[in-house]
Structure 1
Amino acid sequence: MTWRWNPWLLGAVAVAALMLVPVLGLAWAASDGSAGLWAHLWANVLPTALLNTGLLLLGVGALVCVLGTGSAWLVTAFAFPGRRLLSWALLLPLAVPTYIAAFAYLDVLHPLGPVQGLIRDLLGYDSPRQFRLPDIRHLGGCIVLLGFVLYPYVYLTTRALFMTQAAGLLEAARSLGATPLQVFWRVALPLARPAIAVGVALALLETLNDIGASEFLGVQTLTVSIYTTWVSRGDLAGAAQIALAMLVVVALLLALERLGRRRQRYASVLRPRPLQPQQLRGGRAVLVLLLVSLPVLLGFVVPAAYLLWESIARLQVAGISPQLLVALWNTVRVALLATFAAMVLGLLVAWALRLAQARRGQWLAAASSRIATLGYAIPGTVLAIGLLLPLGGLDSMASRLLVVFGGQSQMLLMGSVSLLVLAYTLRFLAVSVGGIESGLARIPLSLDQAAANLGERPAGMLRRVHLPLLRPALAAAALLVFVDTMKELSATLVLRPMNFETLATWLYAEAARGTYEEGAVAALLIVVSGLLPVILLARAGAAYGVENAR
C-alpha cells in the first residue's frame, strides 16, 4: 500500500489543511479592506500598537531571561536551605494566567488596597492624598507583571539543560580556579543559549496572546487593537489587517528562536552525570534563598493568596452566584469537547507520522504534523478573526441549502459553541500532537514490525499495541489541553455566543466593571485547575533528578 492511499496520512493532511483555514481566511478578510482603511490604520492605530507591542516584547523577553536563567542556575549549581522545595515551586506561576495576575495586582496595589493601606499606617498617614504609590497601569507595570508570571517557560527549558549537560565541563572550570560567576558566564550560559531561546520564544508568544493584562493595565498592544476593532467597531477587515501585522511579529519571533539555536550541537551521553551543587552557608545561603524565592512570591504567592482571601470573604457573605455556576459548567463543557477533539486529531496526526517512518511519504506526514501544530504559535485573537470569514461563508451556504430543502434560514456555526470548540481545538492541537509524539517515540519500532509480521493492520496495531502503552502520555496531553482551554480568554471573547460566559470571560467582565470581589472566585477556580499540570511537571522533574542521581 503506497502512501497515496494511506487513510491515516490523508487524514493528517486534512487536519493540516484545516489549520490553514484561519490563516487563509485572515488574508481573505484583510483583502476586503480598502486602501483608505490601511492608511487610517497606519496613521492612527498601528504605530502606537506596534511600538507598545515591541517594547513589551523586549521588556518581557529581557526579564524572563534574567529570572528564568538565574533561578535555574541557582537551584542547579548550589545547595541551600529550601532548594528542593523551590526547585518545583518556581513552576507555580504557570498556574496563574497573565490576566488573573493583573486582576489581582490591580486590587492589591490599589490606593485603597491592603499594600498601600499598610504603608500609610506605618508612616502615619490617613489618606491616599497624603501618600500613594505610583500607578501600575502603564507599560512598565505590564512588563514587570508579565515577566514574573511567564519566566517559568525559560526556567523549565534552561534547568533541563543544566541538569543534562555534561558536568565535567563545569567541574573542570571550577578546578581551574574559575569563580562561580565565571563558571556561569563563560561555560554554563553559552551552553544554555538554545534552551534560553526556546523558553523566551514561548514566553513572548504568550505575551502576544495576552489581552486581559494589557487591557487592564492600559497598554494598547496589537492584540488589544484587534479586539477593539472587531468587537467595538464591528470592522472585520480592519481587525484582519491588524492581525496580519501581528502574524508578521509571530514569524519574526519564531525566526529569532531558530536563529538562537542555530549551529548548536551537543554530544549525547546515555546517562549524563548531574552537576554536584556547591553547598552554601551563612549569608550567601540566605541571599540565594531570597533571590530564588522572590519570583515565586510575586508570580504566585501574592496573587493566589489575594484570590483565596477574597473568595472566602465573598463566599461567606453571598455564597456562590448562580451565574458563576453556569459559567463554570460552560467552561468545563467546552473544555471537555475541545480536549476530546484535540486528542482525536492529535492521535491521527501523530500516528500517521509514525506509520510513515517505514513507508514512502514521510516528508508529507512530517509537513502535515508541523502545519497542524501552528495553532499554538498563532495568538487566540488572530486565530478567531481568521475563522470568522470562511466559516461565515460556509454558514451562509448551509443556510441557503436549508431554505432550498424547506427548512428555515439559520446560522449553524457562527455564534455557536461549535465554533468556540473548533477554535480551541486548533489553538491547542500542538499540545496534543507533541504529547502523543513524545509517547510514541518511547515505543520501539520493533513492536510495529512484529505486529505487522503477524498480519496486524495499522488500526489494530494502534488499538491493541500502542494505545495501552500511550495511556500516560495521552492522559498528560489531555490534561494540558483541558487546562489551557479553561484559561483561554482572547479567542473566547471574539467567538463566544451571545450571553455565553466562561470563567475567563466572567472574570474579564467583573474586572471591567471594577467588582473584583465578584471575579475572585472565578479566578481562583482557574488557578486551581492550572495547578494540575504544574504538579505533573514537578513530579516529572523530581523523578528525572532521582534517576540521574543514581
Structure 2
Amino acid sequence: MLVGAAVLLSVASLLPLAALVVSAFGGTGEALLHYAETVLPGYLVNTVTLCLAVAVLATTAGVASAWLVTMCRFPGREVFAWALVLPLAMPAYVSAYAYTHLLSHPGPVQTLLRDVTGWGPRDYWFPNIRSLGGAAFVLSMVLFPYVYLMARAAFLQQSASAFEAARIMGRSPWRAFIGVAVPLARPAIVAGLALVMMETLADYGAVSFFGVQTFTTAIYRTWFSLGDRTAAVQLALVLVTLVLLVMALERVGRRGKRFSEAGRPFRGLALSGWQIPAAILACALPVAFGFLVPALTLLGLGLGLDVAWFDPRTTRLIGNTVLVAAVGAVATVSVAIVIAYARRVAGGRLTQVLGQLAGFGYAVPGAVIAVGLLIPFGAFDRWLNGLMVATFGVGTGLILTGTIAALVFAYVVRFLAVSLNGVEAGMARISPSLDWASRTLGAGQGRTFCRVHAPLLSGGLLTAFLITFVDIMKELPATLILRPFNFDTLAIRANRLASDERLAEAAVPSLMIIAVGLIPVILLSRQITRSNQKRGQAAPPREAAAPDPVMVEIIPSAEVDTKAAA
C-alpha cells in the first residue's frame, strides 16, 4: 500500500508534462512554424545568451568566494562564510525592481552623476539595466550561492595532500587552485551550475520586467495575451527540451566521477599584504550586489513612503501569502515523506525510479507547470459541468481551475524535489537497526514511522518545510497563472506595482518577502557553521555515512559523496 501510494504520487507529478505532450501533438503545428519563422530564433538566442552569461558570472563569483572562505585565512572569513548565502533570500524579480530604481535615468545614481558633472541627459553614456545584460547581472548575483554551496562542500572534502603536492612541485597557489582544486571539485561545480541554469530558464519576473524576450515570457504572453493555447504549449515543450538538455549536460559532467574524499584537513593559506583586501573585496562584492544593495534600496524606498505598511489590504496579502505557502509546504513535505519512506522500507529499482520522477518538477519552470495543469483541470471541469447540466440541470462551474487546490498541486510538482531530498537526508542519518528493532517488536510501517522516525526527523522536516515555504513565497509565474480570481499574494502585488512603474510602492511587499526568506537562510548558515566545526573528525565507514544535510536539503540535483559525512 505504501509503495502504491508513492507510485501514484510520483506519477501525478508528471501530469503537467504529460498534458503538454498530448495537447501539443493534438495541434496542427502551424502556429509553431509561424513562430519559428518570426520570433522563435530571437527567443532562442536571448534564452541561450542569458543562460551562458549567468553561468559565467555565477560560476566565477561562486567558485572564487568558496575557495577564499574555505582554503584561505584572512580577517572576516567567518562572516563571509554565512553572508555569501544571504542572496538566496532575494527573489530575482525583487532585485530587478531595486536595481531599476537605483540605476535608471531618474534614479539616484545617474541623478548624482549629472549633479556632480553638470552633464545633460545626452552628454554621457550609462549602461541600461533594463536589458539582457542587466538581467544576466541580476540573476547571477542572486543565484551564485548555488555554485558557492556546492563548491564549498567539495573544497571542504578535499584532502590537503594533493594541493600541497602541487605546491612542492613548484606551482604557485593560483596555479595549484586552477590545476588541482578546481578539477577535483568540478562535479560539484557542474551540479550547482546546472541548478543556476535551470533557475535562469525558469525565471519570469526579472526577465519580463526588464523586457527580455525569453521562452518563459513568450509562453505567458502567447497563452494569456494572444489566446493561442496550442502555440503556448508547443513553446513550453521547447523550453522543457532545453531543460532536459541542461540536465543531460550536468549528468555528463559528473559521469564516472565522485566528489573528492575527505583526508587530512586543509589548514588554509594565510594571506598577507595586498592579498587580504583583494580577498575581502572578492567576497564582499557578491554579498553587496546580491543582497545588501537591493535590500537597502528597497528599504529606503519603503521608509520614504507616507503610507501605512500594515494597512488592511497589505495584511490580507500577507495572510494570503502565508496561507498558500504554508498549505503548499505542508502538502509538499507530506508527499515527500510518503515517497521517501517507501524508498527506505521497500528498496529495489522501482523505488529508485520514484525519486527521479518526483524530482523532475524542480527542473521545469513554474509557467510550464501552470500551463500543463490548466489543460487537464480545464477539461475535467468542462466534462463535469456538462455531465451535471445534462443529468440534473445544475452547472458546477470551475471545481479545480482557478482554485487553491490547483495552486497547491502546482507547488507540490514544482518543489517536491526540495522537500524530498531534505526528508531523505534526515532518514539517511537514522540507523536501519532502529527499523529492525521496531519491526521485531511487532510494530508496522506506520507505527514505526510515527514512533521512531518522526521524532528523529523533526529537524530535517522543519528545514524542508521552511525552504519549501520560502520557495513558494518567491514563486511568481505559477501563482500568477493559477491563483483564484481576486486572490493576490505579496509576489503578485509587487509584480503588478513594478509593472506599473510604481517601484516605491512595490518596495513594501518586496521587503516582506525578503524578511520571511531570511529565516531558512539563517538556518542554512547555522548548519554550514556546524558542519565546518565538525571538520577534521574521522570519517565513519561508508555504510554508516550520511549525505551532507546542508547540500542535500538545499541542492536537489547534487550527488554528494557519502564517504565525507557531515
Question: Within 2, Cα distance between the matches of 1:502 and 1:266?
Answer: 41
Question: Within 2, Cα distance between the matches of 1:60 and 1:336?
Answer: 31
Give, in angstroms, the shift of residue 411 of structure 1: 1.0
Task: Give yes or no for the alignment of 1:8 onto 2:28.
Answer: no
Q: Identity percentage over the alignment? A: 44
After TM superposition, list the pairs within 5 Å mapping 1:210-225 onto structure 2.
210-225=203-218
Question: Within 2, Cα distance between the matches of 1:467 and 1:319?
Answer: 39
Give, in angstroms, the shift of residue 91 of structure 1: 0.9
Selected match of 1:43 from 37, 42, 60? 37
**8 Å Cα contact 1:111/1:132 also seen in 2:** no
Q: 2:299 matched to which residue of 1? A: 308
1:338-370: CA deviation from partner (whole Å, max 9, x where unpaired): 11111111110000001113xxxx211111221
Question: Within 2, Cα distance between the matches of 1:92 and 1:115?
Answer: 24
Q: 2:59 matched to which residue of 1? A: 65
After TM superposition, list the pairs within 5 Å mapping 1:54-93 onto structure 2.
54-93=48-87
Selected match of 2:319 from 317, 322, 329? 329
Q: 1:364 matched to which residue of 2? A: 350
Selected match of 2:18 from 15, 18, 24? 24
Question: Within 2, Cα distance between the matches of 1:289 and 1:369?
Answer: 41
Selected match of 1:393 from 379, 382, 391? 379
Question: Within 2, Cα distance between the matches of 1:412 and 1:114?
Answer: 49
After TM superposition, list the pairs within 5 Å mapping 1:130-279 onto structure 2.
130-131=123-124, 133-265=126-258, 268-269=261-262, 272-279=263-270
Question: Within 2, Cα distance between the matches of 1:497 and 1:82?
Answer: 48
Give, in angstroms, the shift of residue 329 of structure 1: 1.3
Question: Within 1, Cα distance between the matches of 2:442 and 2:190?
Answer: 46
AA aligned to 2:258 is: R
Question: Within 2, Cα distance between the matches of 1:267 and 1:451?
Answer: 36
Give, in angstroms, the shift of residue 429 of structure 1: 0.9
Give, in angstroms, the shift of residue 266 of structure 1: 5.0
Selected match of 1:280 from 271, 284, 287? 271
Give, in angstroms, the shift of residue 174 of structure 1: 2.2
| Unmatched tracts of structure 1, length 5 or more | 1-6
Q: 2:345 matched to which residue of 1? A: 355
**Cα distance 1:479–1:266, how it changes in 2: closer, same or farther (>3 A)?**
closer
SS in 2 for 1:151: helix
Question: Within 1, Cα distance between the matches of 2:67 and 2:524?
Answer: 18
**Cα distance 1:266–1:296, how it changes in 2: closer, same or farther (>3 A)?**
closer
1:191-225: CA deviation from partner (whole Å, max 9, x where unpaired): 01101100100001110111111111121000000
Give, in angstroms, the shift of residue 34 of structure 1: 2.1
Task: Give yes or no for the alignment of 1:345 onto 2:335.
Answer: yes
SS in 1 for 2:14: helix
1:397-423: CA deviation from partner (whole Å, max 9, x where unpaired): 332344324643311011112111111
SS in 2 for 1:373: helix
Runs of 4+ in 1 over 6 A off after TM superposition: none
| Unmatched tracts of structure 2, length 5 or more | 538-566
Q: 1:4 matched to which residue of 2? A: none
Task: Give yes or no for the alignment of 1:373 onto 2:344.
Answer: no
**8 Å Cα contact 2:184/2:260 also seen in 1:** no
Question: Within 2, Cα distance between the matches of 1:487 and 1:523?
Answer: 10
Selected match of 1:466 from 448, 453, 473? 453
Selected match of 1:441 from 424, 428, 432? 428
**8 Å Cα contact 1:22/1:386 also seen in 2:** yes
1:112-167: CA deviation from partner (whole Å, max 9, x where unpaired): 11111222233234x43444522122212211221112111100000110011112
Question: Within 2, Cα distance between the matches of 1:468 and 1:111?
Answer: 56
**8 Å Cα contact 2:104/2:129 also seen in 1:** no
AA aligned to 1:198 is: A
Question: Within 2, Cα distance between the matches of 1:234 and 1:502?
Answer: 25
**Cα distance 1:87–1:344, how it changes in 2: closer, same or farther (>3 A)?**
same
Give, in angstroms, the shift of residue 252 of structure 1: 0.3
Question: Within 2, Cα distance between the matches of 1:266 and 1:288?
Answer: 26
AA aligned to 1:548 is: R
SS in 2 for 1:409: coil
Q: 1:488 matched to which residue of 2? A: 475
Question: Within 2, Cα distance between the matches of 1:132 and 1:519?
Answer: 28
Selected match of 1:422 from 402, 409, 421? 409
Question: Within 2, Cα distance between the matches of 1:235 and 1:327?
Answer: 31
**8 Å Cα contact 1:31/1:237 also seen in 2:** no
Q: 1:3 matched to which residue of 2? A: none
SS in 1 for 2:535: helix
Selected match of 1:524 from 501, 507, 511? 511
- Tell me whether 185-194 or 173-182 shows the greater mean CA deviation: 173-182
**8 Å Cα contact 1:120/1:131 also seen in 2:** no
SS in 2 for 1:149: helix
Question: Within 1, Cα distance between the matches of 2:52 and 2:41?
Answer: 16
Give, in angstroms, the shift of residue 173 of structure 1: 2.0
**8 Å Cα contact 2:16/2:373 also seen in 1:** yes
TM-score, normalized by length of structure 1? 0.95
**8 Å Cα contact 1:50/1:221 also seen in 2:** yes
Aligned residues: 536
Question: Within 1, Cα distance between the matches of 2:118 and 2:226?
Answer: 48
Question: Within 1, Cα distance between the matches of 2:115 and 2:73?
Answer: 39
**8 Å Cα contact 2:154/2:260 also seen in 1:** no
Question: Within 1, Cα distance between the matches of 2:459 and 2:385?
Answer: 43
**8 Å Cα contact 2:498/2:506 also seen in 1:** yes
Question: Within 2, Cα distance between the matches of 1:233 and 1:326?
Answer: 32
1:295-318: CA deviation from partner (whole Å, max 9, x where unpaired): 11111110000111111222x445
- Tell me whether 501-510 or 400-409 shows the greater mean CA deviation: 400-409
SS in 2 for 1:548: coil
